[in-house]
Structure 1
Amino acid sequence: MQTAEIKSRFLQFFADRGHTIVPSASLVSDDPTVMFTIAGMVPFIPYMTGVVPAPYPRAASVQKCIRTNDIEEVGKTPRHGTFFQMGGNFSFGDYFKREAIEFAFTFLTTAEDEGGLGFDSKDLWVTVYKDDDVARDAWLEISDIPEERIQRLGAETNFWSAGKPGGPAGPDSEIFFDRGPAYGIDGGPATDDDRYVEIWNLVFMQYERGVDLGDGTFELLGDLPQRNIDTGIGLERIAFLKQGVENMYETDQVRPVLDRAAELSGKTYGDDAEDDVRMRVVADHVRSALMLITDGVQPSNEGRGYILRRLLRRAIRNMRLLGVETATFPELFPASMRAMRDAYPEVERDFDRTSRIAYTEEALFLRTLAQGTTIFEEAAASAHEQGAVIIPGDTAFKLHDTFGFPIDLTLEMAEEAGLSVNREKFDELMSEQRARAKADARSRRSALADLSVYSDFRAKGETAFLGYDELRLESQVLGLIVNGVSVPVARVGDRAEIILAETTLYAEAGGQDSDQGWISSPTGGFESTVVDVQRPVPGLIAHTVDVTLGEIAVGDTVETIVDEQYRRQANQAHSATHLIHAALRDTLGPDAHQAGSYNKAGYMRLDFNWAQPLSVDTRSEVEEIANNAIRQNHDVVTRVLPIDEAKALGARALFGEKYGSVVRMVDIGGPWSRELCGGTHVANSAQIGLVNLIGESSVGAQNRRVEALVGRDAFSEFAAERAVVRELSAGLKVPREEIPGRMHDLFASLKAAEKRIAELESAQLARQVPALLESAVDAGGSRLVAASIGNVHSADDVRRLALDLRERLGVDAAVVALAGVADGKPAIVVATNEAARERGAKAGALVKLAAGILGGGGGGKPDVAQGGGQDASKLPDALAAIRSELAGA
């Protein structure tokens, strides 16, 4: 049974039983405390907690999920994967334990030709919470599973909670498949043996969770207002059992990548246990990366992007361990796309973009591997020269932290070089980094408001945004929040959140900053300045205000007033963002997808998928296309329609953005610029006025950013540039059109003068060579030239002269230590020949000694090293220290 068929059977079973079928949400979670959708219930959390009223009493979905907390177990067990699909059926105050158990048992054991999965109940085991007699009795009544295969377990395995006080909690019941005695010991799931594969978890949410009690448990505050059901069935686990294979990596959606990895490496899957694990890691991580990039995640060094980058690099590293050091993603990603496209057609539709991102990331990491390998080889050479057998832990950490080398890759390379790694020091540095990361995560979480404060307000309905057509209106105050607590009254001096029934003030969304404006009473007894407008939970708008006059109470009538000038300029900026996006596609092609944006009054920036900097001519072309669209005075047309209809019309959606079943589509110039957008806009493109591109930069290996001023701000920037041009014209005494030529001539003259000065300085240094050679003295059996050559143009002058002197001193043991002063800072270079190094003279060690005296640092290879410091007056002391060190040696 193919994985896609398991999915369709599951959804059909629950649709037939009155469940609303909900499409999978994005892998990018809406929850600000969670980077990814980690379970099927995540999109339903607002309904389970009661913050948002559930739109249906029961639902079912098959949700795409990503978890990386067990990433080190991937490939080693039959069930650990970073990407997986979780089927779930949910009840929001509707059915409870008995019905959930009956649904699960029926679907699992109904024959395949009747729409079920066809499991034999003799192969199933069940666990329940130790005190949950209701669940245990239901299993005995509904199923034919004998009592000895229904095990009671403790809270650590069979009691679920949302993880924080105030969230839902409750006992659960888990269903396991027994793979048979060939796979492990007898005794059921209580043994925690891989023989017993968990395939379904039924969570009975009925309590409100309290604080941790410090022993791994938590208090229960009482019953929830309504009891909920949350279940999760693992499609990959069901698939490997139904397909008769040994693990999830050998199922129909994963095995094609594993097989391609085997072909590329020349290995045979099943021949070597370690190689098998590596192939499974590659297959898992490539699929996970494919799904993440399809959902809009970009590789980066933080957050979600870092997780994606880690998955990609682990796949590359495991292909390397399999003996393949060239690029493999152009073979592996198409294999994964073909395996997943039946279940998720978007992976094929977006594959040009997805594959380009993956292939570029692989090329970058292969170059990074080359750089990191150089660092490692230097460290290995240094260890061998010093007679050491251990690579320092801080070197291994640098390779991990700076170059993305997993520790096992460093261990492998060290073993090949006959060395080991100071793993204890590496682990210490990793622990310190994790502690810093956890502290940062805790601080971010503590800064988030407890969203439960909004639940009563949201229960009264959605906040109606009427600001597309009106800039001011009267509305009723539904709630007030001060310092995170719901209050009846807000007074002068308070910073408060005001919840209204409707509003004209735009809440930050879709890249558009929130409106500026005021909320006041129609009678004039209350005034406040709006400082922010947000949607803390779906459907609810909260206005953060500073109260400047009087007081306001829940139930009062107030007026929302949008700052008309700010809104007009914000409309210009948002519409200009659409024009720039369309202009980029016209200029660069359809691969230039928007990857994010931000706009406010007078300013816009847009990030887009592109790996190369834009030339000056390309930037000018983009700017001209956008301004030409402004001059053509296109109507800006907005329509509200079903999302499928909008996409059929060619509307472009932002990757990673969340859209409902009904969307707002904005056209500027018809299909030329047609996007899904909830922001505010001008009525026609001429109202934008002017766009002035002021910047273009990199925001990642595969993303670029353009910035522009819009409207009045764009004109002011052009006026300022015109003033500069006038000043240059007057100063250079040439017309405006001749300024570039005159500047070119001036730069050429300056460059020629600098070249002449450098030649003179070089000649002056060369004249010192005979005297420096004459100054050579014996120091510990080596001829030593140690001298200061005075002021120099740069430290490179000192280096060139030192290397020249070393060559002139011949093959007998010789050391050159030269110092100079560049821009007021001392610089020192030490060069040794082979004979001197055999006598123990190492340039790096000598420079480090001297640089310490100068108040700085330095280092390098044993043959040549360079350093510097802060105190040029200590140069004689630094050179004397080198003489003493050599003499002592």
Structure 2
Amino acid sequence: MRTAEIRRRFLDFFAQRGHTIVDSAPLPIDDPTLLFVNAGMVPFKPYLLGQTPAPYPRAASVQKCVRTLDIDDVGRTARHGSFFQMNGNFSFGDYFKAEAIEYAWELITRPVADGGYGLPESRLWVSVFHEDDEAAGIWRDRVGVSPDRIVRRGIVDNYWSMGVPGPCGPSSEIFIDRGPAYGPDGGPEADEERFMELWNLVFMQFERGPGGGKKDYPILGELPAKNIDTGMGLERMAFILQGMDNLYEIDETRPILERAAELSGRPYGRGGDTDVRLRVVADHIRTALMIVTDGVVPGNEGRPYVLRRILRRSVRAMRLLGYGDPALGELFAVARDCMSPSYPEVAADFDRIREVAVAEEEAFDRTLKQGTGILDLAVKDAKAAGHTRLSGASAFKLHDTYGFPIDLTLEMAAEQGLEVDREGFTALMAEQRRRAKADAQSRKTGHGDMSVYRRVLDEHGPTKWLAYETLATDSRVLAVLKDGEPAREAGEGDIVEVVLDRTPFYAESGGQESDAGLLSGGGARAEVLAVRRPSKGLVTHQVRVLDGTLAVGARVQAEVDAEWRLGARQAHSGTHVVHAALRQVLGPTALQSGSYNRPGYLRLDFSWRTRLSTDTRSEVEEAANLAVRRDLPVEVRYMPLARAREIGALALFGETYDEQVRVVDIGGAWSRELCGGTHVEHASQIGPLAITSESSVGSGSRRVEAVVGVEAFRYLARERDLVSRLAEELKAPREEVPDRVAALVARLKEAERASERLRGKLLVAEAAELAAKASDIAGVGFVTATAPDVAAGRALAEAVRERYGRPGVVAVAIPGEGKFVLVTGVSEGARGLGLSAADLLREALGGRGGGTPSLAQGAGVGTPEALVARLAELVADRLAARE
């Protein structure tokens, strides 16, 4: 049974039982605790945690997930994949244990001909929390599972919580016996490779208090409404139903693996490193495809870094398999064909997706070249210092800073006769992972801070948000929060969070900065600094109290700064216009991947590989301003998400949308996007628009910045004044300024070339003069000199060395603070006598420095005179030894 069919059967089964089918949320979900969705329940967290009422009593989904904590196990086990899909059914205060257990068992054992998965009951085991007699009784009495296949397990295995105060409860799992070939008999307690978990049912029925670990917390009591959260791993079910040993061989990954094997000429199935690398490729290519589809582009931090790491591990695996040509474009095409039956957007947006992958592979190839050069220097320094090992710190820097894989460092260092301090590298990696886990835990425990918002929401209900309708409201202060804790009031100078019953302020979202303005009333005035939505339905205002006391229960006038809002509307509508102009000029693959706008300013990131030429940038700017001049109408409509997609509305990557969405049209289909921001009513209200910069923000992604309205006038005025001043200085008409500046630059470059030629002549003259003053050491001339900098020192040493008529050695000192640099040159005749610049310098410096037999340099301490004298002694000793 194909994976897409397993998915379809799951959704059909639960749709027939009254569940609302919810589309998968994008992988980069808007959640401060996560980089990517890592479990099927994540999009439903606000409902499960009681932060906001669920819009439906029961739901089902197949959620895309990414986990990378176990990335090093990918390819080595049957179950570890960085991308997976979690089938889940959920109840929000509707049905509970009996129905959840019966639904799971019915679907998993129902015959294939009747729409089920047809797993034989004789191969299935279940587990329950050891105190959950209710669940054990349902499995035994209502479902009919034999008691000897119902395993009772402790709190670590069969009890769920978020790790912070809130909902918790026992869980129950369904396992399948894969047979004696996979391990010993005895059920899940004996071996979880043989008895593999397929489905986990979580019964959220209690509330837990504070505490650490998986069991060190109190149970405070039962929840008023009990919830169900289940998860069935789609890939696990696929490799069971398809008769495979692991998730890398199912229909959504095996074609990628086989194409990688074909390209590399390394067949799969013979075991060892080859099989592991092919599995890594199959897993990582699919993961990267799905991440890029959801709008992430490679970068150096956060989600972009995770994507970069996954892509580069894929490339590295192909290189280790012996394939050196570009591979990602072709492998992504195979992955597209595997995934598009379930996710049509993969095929619809494939040109952009492929461009991102190809650009990153090209960038990584450049990194490998750069890293190779850096590694060569590190090896050379280690050898010069007499070391036989490359330090762990050097290997870690190559890995962490330059993306240079450790296995490549090991191979290349070994080729040059050095080991690598693997223990030191591993310790630094472990420390990095510890910091990352600590950071993840700190983000996770951020849910503890949400409790105060949940209490406010429970007590007062959602904020009446009127930002689209008015700039001022008469409001009541519902809550004042100081440092995350409730307070009765705030005094002059305090910075606090305030919750109002109604508000006209736009809360920061969708790239638009929040409104500015004032709260005033009862002798108090407070400046609004930021507005946000910490929980769905709740709006909070960060304010600085300017005068008086702002107290809970007070009546205030909440007023948005009208000029601020106007500038914000111009900038947000301007962002849509620039996006449409980019797509008009560059084509439909130039899709927005992120944006930010504030009054008068906008920034837009979009998918594109190359720098925009001056002419292209001007063309985009002109297309945007023509839309403004034509005064295109701006229309806001509300409609179902499915309808918005039908009419071609563009969604911002990474955003999660409700089933009812807001569509903003500028000029009809010319610019049609899903958007919750504030906008002008006609394009002419945007005012002039000027693009101020265009730059790279990562492989396959560019950024344009622009100003609009009054800020555009000011920018253009500054540009005009600059040109006027240049014209005045050059005494030329304004239209001739570019040619005059170009001529000046050309003349300056010619003057620099002439200066270099003169400097060369002076060096030759100085070299001849120095050579004439050379001292004699056993028939070899010895020349000493000083230079102002290293470049001049090397040039002088080379000039003396090449123009010395007989065997000679030259030493040029470059003074510095606390230490100095010494450059040593040895002429061809002196090299014939066995003298080497690199050997002489290293011995004089005690092992430091490096270079070639003809030219070397290194840093010394003490005085240059003493070191030059030491060099003279070494020359004499070497020549004496020859005799």
Equivalent-residue separation in structure 2 for 1:850 and 1:463 (angstroms): 73
Q: Give the aligned partner of residue 813 of structure 2.
A: 819
Equivalent-residue separation in structure 2 for 1:703 and 1:806 (angstroms): 50
Equivalent-residue separation in structure 2 for 1:547 and 1:488 (angstroms): 14
Shift of 1:692: 2.1
Q: Give the aligned partner of residue 304 of structure 1.
A: 303
Q: Give the aligned partner of residue 798 of structure 1.
A: 793
From the superposition, tell whether residues 302 and 840 of structure 1 become closer, same or farther in structure 2 (CA, over 3 Å).
Answer: farther
CA RMSD in angstroms, aligned pairs only: 3.2
Matched, 1:734 2:746: no
From the superposition, tell whether residues 4 and 444 of structure 1 become closer, same or farther in structure 2 (CA, over 3 Å).
Answer: closer
Q: What is the SS of the residue equivalent to 2:280? A: helix
Equivalent-residue separation in structure 2 for 1:581 and 1:678 (angstroms): 16
From the superposition, tell whether residues 647 and 724 of structure 1 become closer, same or farther in structure 2 (CA, over 3 Å).
Answer: same
Q: Map residues 471-870 of structure 1 onto 2, 5 A cutoff.
A: 471-521=471-521, 524-774=522-772, 785=782, 787-791=784-788, 795-807=790-802, 815-820=809-814, 828-831=822-825, 843=838, 846=841, 864-866=855-857
Structure 2 counterpart of 1:146, which letter? S
Structure 2 counterpart of 1:506, which letter? Y
Q: Give the aligned partner of residue 463 of structure 2.
A: 463
Structure 2 counterpart of 1:693, which letter? I
Q: Size of the alignment, in residue pairs?
A: 876
Shift of 1:62: 1.0
Equivalent-residue separation in structure 1 for 2:54 and 2:415 (angstroms): 60
Moved more, 614-623 or 427-436: 427-436
1:18-59 per-residue CA deviation (whole Å, 9 max, x = no partner) reads 222211111112220111110001111111111112222222
User: Residue 804 of structure 2 contacts residue 827 of structure 2 at CA under 8 Å; is this kept in 1?
Assistant: no
1:561-603 per-residue CA deviation (whole Å, 9 max, x = no partner) reads 1111111111111122122212222222222211211111121
Q: When the two structures are superposed, what TM-score results if normalisation uses the length of structure 1?
A: 0.91
Q: Give the aligned partner of residue 60 of structure 2.
A: 60
Shift of 1:315: 1.1
From the superposition, tell whether residues 692 and 486 of structure 1 become closer, same or farther in structure 2 (CA, over 3 Å).
Answer: same
Equivalent-residue separation in structure 1 for 2:852 and 2:53 (angstroms): 68
Equivalent-residue separation in structure 1 for 2:672 and 2:304 (angstroms): 28
Unaligned runs of 5+ in 1: none
Equivalent-residue separation in structure 2 for 1:436 and 1:833 (angstroms): 54
Moved more, 567-576 or 428-437: 428-437
Q: What is the SS of the residue equivalent to 1:686? A: helix
Q: What is the SS of the residue equivalent to 2:151? A: strand
Equivalent-residue separation in structure 2 for 1:848 and 1:668 (angstroms): 74
Q: Give the aligned partner of residue 151 of structure 1.
A: 151
From the superposition, tell whether residues 64 and 862 of structure 1 become closer, same or farther in structure 2 (CA, over 3 Å).
Answer: farther
Equivalent-residue separation in structure 2 for 1:354 and 1:238 (angstroms): 28
Q: Give the aligned partner of residue 260 of structure 2.
A: 261
Moved more, 510-519 or 427-436: 427-436
Moved more, 11-20 or 725-734: 725-734
From the superposition, tell whether residues 376 and 546 of structure 1 become closer, same or farther in structure 2 (CA, over 3 Å).
Answer: closer
From the superposition, tell whether residues 132 and 337 of structure 1 become closer, same or farther in structure 2 (CA, over 3 Å).
Answer: same
From the superposition, tell whether residues 188 and 646 of structure 1 become closer, same or farther in structure 2 (CA, over 3 Å).
Answer: same
From the superposition, tell whether residues 887 and 825 of structure 1 become closer, same or farther in structure 2 (CA, over 3 Å).
Answer: same
Q: Name the structure, 1 or 2, with higher relative contact order (CA <8 Å, separation 6+).
A: 2
Q: Give the aligned partner of residue 333 of structure 1.
A: 332
Shift of 1:60: 1.4
Shift of 1:152: 2.0
Q: What is the SS of the residue equivalent to 2:497? A: strand
Shift of 1:227: 2.3
1:338-390 per-residue CA deviation (whole Å, 9 max, x = no partner) reads 01111111111111111110111111112222332333345556667888653
Moved more, 739-748 or 5-14: 739-748
Q: Give the aligned partner of residue 320 of structure 1.
A: 319
User: Residue 24 of structure 1 contacts residue 63 of structure 1 at CA under 8 Å; is this kept in 2?
Assistant: yes
User: Residue 525 of structure 1 contacts residue 549 of structure 1 at CA under 8 Å; is this kept in 2?
Assistant: yes
User: Residue 515 of structure 2 contacts residue 565 of structure 2 at CA under 8 Å; is this kept in 1?
Assistant: yes
Equivalent-residue separation in structure 2 for 1:292 and 1:51 (angstroms): 28
Equivalent-residue separation in structure 2 for 1:692 and 1:477 (angstroms): 42
Structure 1 counterpart of 2:498, which letter? I
From the superposition, tell whether residues 159 and 575 of structure 1 become closer, same or farther in structure 2 (CA, over 3 Å).
Answer: same
Matched, 1:71 2:71: yes
Equivalent-residue separation in structure 1 for 2:810 and 2:337 (angstroms): 64
Equivalent-residue separation in structure 2 for 1:516 and 1:169 (angstroms): 40
From the superposition, tell whether residues 177 and 839 of structure 1 become closer, same or farther in structure 2 (CA, over 3 Å).
Answer: farther
Structure 1 counterpart of 2:599, which letter? A
From the superposition, tell whether residues 110 and 293 of structure 1 become closer, same or farther in structure 2 (CA, over 3 Å).
Answer: same
Q: Give the aligned partner of residue 223 of structure 1.
A: 222
Shift of 1:255: 0.6
1:644-698 per-residue CA deviation (whole Å, 9 max, x = no partner) reads 2222222222211222222222222222222222111122222222122222222
Equivalent-residue separation in structure 1 for 2:493 and 2:76 (angstroms): 60
From the superposition, tell whether residues 554 and 693 of structure 1 become closer, same or farther in structure 2 (CA, over 3 Å).
Answer: same
Equivalent-residue separation in structure 2 for 1:144 and 1:448 (angstroms): 40
User: Residue 355 of structure 2 contacts residue 609 of structure 2 at CA under 8 Å; is this kept in 1?
Assistant: no
1:203-251 per-residue CA deviation (whole Å, 9 max, x = no partner) reads 1222333333579743433333332221110111111111111111111
Q: Give the aligned partner of residue 881 of structure 2.
A: none
Shift of 1:604: 1.3
From the superposition, tell whether residues 167 and 425 of structure 1 become closer, same or farther in structure 2 (CA, over 3 Å).
Answer: same
User: Residue 828 of structure 1 contacts residue 847 of structure 1 at CA under 8 Å; is this kept in 2?
Assistant: no
Shift of 1:146: 2.2
Structure 2 counterpart of 1:716, which letter? R
Moved more, 476-485 or 607-616: 476-485
From the superposition, tell whether residues 51 and 784 of structure 1 become closer, same or farther in structure 2 (CA, over 3 Å).
Answer: farther
Equivalent-residue separation in structure 1 for 2:274 and 2:54 (angstroms): 48
Moved more, 761-770 or 296-305: 761-770
Structure 2 counterpart of 1:573, which letter? A
From the superposition, tell whether residues 318 and 753 of structure 1 become closer, same or farther in structure 2 (CA, over 3 Å).
Answer: closer
Q: Give the aligned partner of residue 430 of structure 1.
A: 429
Q: What is the SS of the residue equivalent to 1:767? A: helix
From the superposition, tell whether residues 452 and 798 of structure 1 become closer, same or farther in structure 2 (CA, over 3 Å).
Answer: same
Unaligned runs of 5+ in 2: 879-883
Structure 2 counterpart of 1:590, which letter? P
Q: Give the aligned partner of residue 390 of structure 2.
A: 391
From the superposition, tell whether residues 826 and 411 of structure 1 become closer, same or farther in structure 2 (CA, over 3 Å).
Answer: closer
Equivalent-residue separation in structure 2 for 1:837 and 1:30 (angstroms): 71
Equivalent-residue separation in structure 1 for 2:444 and 2:806 (angstroms): 66
Equivalent-residue separation in structure 2 for 1:11 and 1:639 (angstroms): 30
User: Residue 851 of structure 1 contacts residue 867 of structure 1 at CA under 8 Å; is this kept in 2?
Assistant: no
Q: Percent of pairs identical after alignment?
A: 52
Equivalent-residue separation in structure 1 for 2:406 and 2:670 (angstroms): 50
Moved more, 255-264 or 526-535: 526-535
Structure 2 counterpart of 1:238, which letter? M
Equivalent-residue separation in structure 2 for 1:233 and 1:842 (angstroms): 69
Shift of 1:488: 4.2
Moved more, 57-66 or 348-357: 57-66
Moved more, 697-706 or 282-291: 697-706
Q: What is the SS of the residue equivalent to 2:366? A: helix
Shift of 1:103: 1.7
Q: What is the SS of the residue equivalent to 1:189? A: coil
User: Residue 29 of structure 2 contacts residue 656 of structure 2 at CA under 8 Å; is this kept in 1?
Assistant: no
Q: What is the SS of the residue equivalent to 1:755? A: helix
User: Residue 836 of structure 2 contacts residue 852 of structure 2 at CA under 8 Å; is this kept in 1?
Assistant: no
Equivalent-residue separation in structure 2 for 1:16 and 1:215 (angstroms): 36
